[in-house]
Structure 1
Amino acid sequence: MKKILLITLIFICNLYALKISSSNVKNANTVFLEIQKENISDVKLTFDKQNINFFKNPFKENSYYALLPISYYQKQKEYRVIVSYIENGKKVFKGKNLKVVDGKYKSEVINVPKTKFKPKASRVQRTKKEYSQAMKVYKSISKEILWNEDFIYPLNTKITSNFGTKRVYNGKLKSYHSGTDFRAKNGTAIIASNAGIVKISQNRFYSGGTIVIDHGHGVYSCYFHLSKMNYKVGESIKKGAVLGLSGDTGRVTGPHLHFSFRINGLQVDPLNAIEVLNKVRK
């Protein structure tokens, strides 16, 4: 009887070694996974052809965590998240069900002549180059964590446009709003959501004055349409530091701050990302 109870206890301990922030997740949101277990290594997860490494959590003993970003275009259904690690020289596998559900983002329907907004060749060349440069940054995952405090919003004003609004042109989904827009008059101080290293500081066609901060472990925060940028590429920045001033640079109709997040290269809801990231230290 004692032997059965011991085996049952070991099974329960192993079962609950893996935690997941939610079994249901909206498209373009982020999932936090955590394993608290001694003497394990090489912790990884697989989700729908994505392979993601866990990082050792510097804020908790014997703890490893991973951030799983869900694509905006991820098919809505139930998936199996498989986590593996090495324990006592053997590879151990754990699984959790994860259901991707509709984020119920609003839609903007726009009907225009097909040739009305045909871009010039020079613009296409520039935007492709800028996109390629940015994606090279976003897909670079630093093994070092660069923050030790909770993430914060870049300013405290009204949100004028939420993340995820669909842009439907002539009946077809062409794009979506890739960030959260905050009201900001020209010259409003914009602060860093957390500590990190500046990886982009550049005037770009669509996003105008742009600063992108690498926070480590594949986490990037982005600040668009700035009229002034106070930091250069390679410079360290502290949480709450004034990284620049708001403006109406780039492809915009008026001054505001466009705030966005990339995790492991994928674009995600920045406000949800902040909520999830702040679980790392809890």
Structure 2
Amino acid sequence: MRLLLLLLTLGLALPAHAEGFISRLLNKPFPGGVAVLDLGNASQAPTARYQGKPVLVIREDGKRWIAIVGIPLGTKQGAQQVEVEGRNLGFEVGERHYREQRITLKNQQQVTPNAKNLARIERELAEQTKAYRLFSPRQPSNLLFDKPVNGPLSSPFGLRRFFNGEERNPHSGLDFAVPQGTPIKAPAAGEVILVGDYFFNGRTVFVDHGQGLISMFCHLSQIDVKVGDSLQRGAVLGKVGATGRATGPHLHWNVSLNDARVDPAIFIGAFKR
């Protein structure tokens, strides 16, 4: 009774349902975060779209359907909408501040590339963007991910990055400080959809976990998989290196939902405000 009176006093509503484990784990509605929305308990999975792109929908606790929405890092605080079966379902994006990181690179081409390298970067970006936008029907095997390597985090998601004093895109993943040659394991089952050796990312592997949930691993010293390979959770896909734009050996891991890069820390239970 006291809880009810407190909620009414604060102008809040009791939740329509008890949150399940996945909702408690993933619902971090901030720029670069994830929003989990209740879609009800229809007999068939509803379809949902956010900013024109299909959204991951799963059944939680065997009862209700939930949409798991990736929120782009550049999203402003305030109201957002997801389209569900022809109707709009609203949610609020909160505020989150990200720190700065300043990096000095010896290779100036990795800060201000020449025309030849810019053309290469544009080709590689188009290839990787296509991979991020893949939406396969498979259900993810697990949403509480394993860490791809065991080691300390060296750079968190969302850092505003300055290379040789010049601001560039924010840090779109997590960095793990682990030695050269450390095996990298798939955090969930999936299919390898892209491998490459890129100007910025170096040796890179993309894994599709299902319904727009994509992992990207880069700066590898060695790739041990090929496009089309099916990986079980924990399968080794390559080894840590320092290829591409890297100042030393480490693993950079991206997680993407509906083509929005989101904080991988959310999926390993390590999210911090």
Q: TM-score, normalised by structure 2?
A: 0.78
Q: For the Cα contact (< 8 Å) 2:207–2:216, is it kept in 1?
A: yes
Cα drift, residue 33 of structure 1: 2.0
Residues of 2 paired with 1:17 and 1:241: CA distance?
Answer: 37
Structure 2 counterpart of 1:66, one-letter code: A
8 Å Cα contact 1:29/1:273 also seen in 2: no
Of the candidates 108, 128, 132, which is equivalent to residue 101 of structure 2? Answer: 108
- Give the 3-state SS of the residue equivalent to 1:176 in structure 2: coil
Aligned 8 A contact 1:209 1:227 in 2: yes
8 Å contact kept, 1:38–1:62: no
1:208 pairs with 2:163: no
Please say if residues 185 and 236 of structure 2, whose CA atoms lie closer than 8 Å, have aligned partners that are also in contact.
yes
Structure-2 residue corresponding to 1:147: 141
Aligned to 1:199: 193
Residue 25 of structure 2 corresponds to residue 32 of structure 1: no
What letter matches 2:81 in structure 1? V
| 8 Å Cα contact 1:225/1:248 also seen in 2 | yes
Counterparts in 2 of 1:35 and 1:275: CA distance versus 1, 3 Å: farther
Matched with 1:280 is none
CA distance, structure 2, for counterparts of residue 97 and residue 197 of structure 1: 31
Cα distance in 1, alignment partners of residues 136 and 156 from structure 2: 29
Distance 1:127-1:83 versus aligned 2 partners, 3 A rule: closer
Structure 1 pair 23–142 and aligned structure 2 pair: CA distance change class (3 A): closer
Kindly indicate whether residue 249 of structure 2 is the aligned counterpart of residue 255 of structure 1.
yes
- The C-alpha deviation readout for 1:2-52, integer Å capped at 9, x for no partner, is xxxxxxxxxxxxx83797769872211111223342346644355xx4454
Q: Distance in 2 between matches of 1:55 and 1:99?
A: 19
Partner of residue 183, structure 2: 189
Aligned length, in residue pairs:
249
Superposition RMSD in Å: 3.2
Q: Deviations over 1:202-247 (max 9, x none)?
A: 2111111111100001001111111111110010011111111111
* 1:176 and 2:174 aligned: no
Query: Mind listing any 5+ residue stretches in structure 1 that lack a counterpart?
Result: 1-14, 86-90, 277-282
Q: Shift of the alpha carbon at 1:148? A: 4.5
* 1:78-127 residue CA offsets vs partner (Å, 9 max, x unmatched): 20535544xxxxx7x574441331x2211136899xx9843122211111
Gaps spanning 5+ residues in structure 2: where?
1-14
Distance change in 2, residues 1:161/1:241 (3 Å): same
Q: What is the TM-score of this pair, normalised by structure 1?
A: 0.76
The 3 A distance-change label for structure 1 pair 17 and 141 is farther
CA distance in 2, matches of 1:54, 1:189: 29
1 CA distance for matches of 2:146 and 2:55? 25
Q: Are the equivalent residues in 1 in contact too, given 2:35–2:69 (CA < 8 A)?
A: yes
Q: Higher strand fraction: Structure 1 or Structure 2?
A: 1
Q: Distance in 1 between matches of 2:266 and 2:120?
A: 31
Query: Residue 8 of structure 2 aligns with which residue?
Result: none
What SS is found at the alignment partner of 1:190? strand
2:76 paired residue number: 75
- The aligned amino acid for 2:64 is S
CA contact (8 A) 2:28 2:35 kept: no
8 A contact 2:31–2:73 mirrored in 1: yes
Identity of aligned residues (%): 29
Change (3 A) 1:55 1:108: closer
> In the alignment, what sits opposite 1:88?
none
